[in-house]
Amino acid sequence: MFVCCSPDVFRKLMVQFRRADLPHEQYVFFYIDVFGDSLNSKQGQPWARGDEDDAVAKEAFQAEPDFPELLSSVSSLVSVFISFVLFGN
């Protein structure tokens, strides 16, 4: 799933997704940070807000390493997405 929104909205989405106990091994989220807002996160921790959701958010932001077939096609997916955004096709 490609997601383009503010870092706070993305964090809320990830927290809700995790709390809903959906099969997280069947989903991959690609966060597109058009304006680089996530670079302002504390010490490279985009899940951290200092609130009661930090632990759930951190867990939700964890990468699943068991996707070798996905990792091999990520660059292709990103290229297609960028082409779509830039050129509309």
* 34 assigned to some structural domain: yes
* Pick from 56, 45, 43: nearest CA to 12: 56
Structural domain count, the chain: 1
Cα→Cα distances 64→27, 68, 70, Å: 10, 10, 11
Mean pLDDT calculated for residue range 50-54:
94
Cα→Cα distances 51→38, 47, 56, 74, 75, Å: 18, 10, 10, 32, 34
* 46 assigned to some structural domain: yes
* 77 assigned to some structural domain: no
Which residue range(s) make up the domain with 19?
Answer: 2-64
> So what's the pLDDT on residue 51?
94
* 78 assigned to some structural domain: no
> So what's the pLDDT on residue 3?
85
Model pTM score: 0.67
* 41 assigned to some structural domain: yes
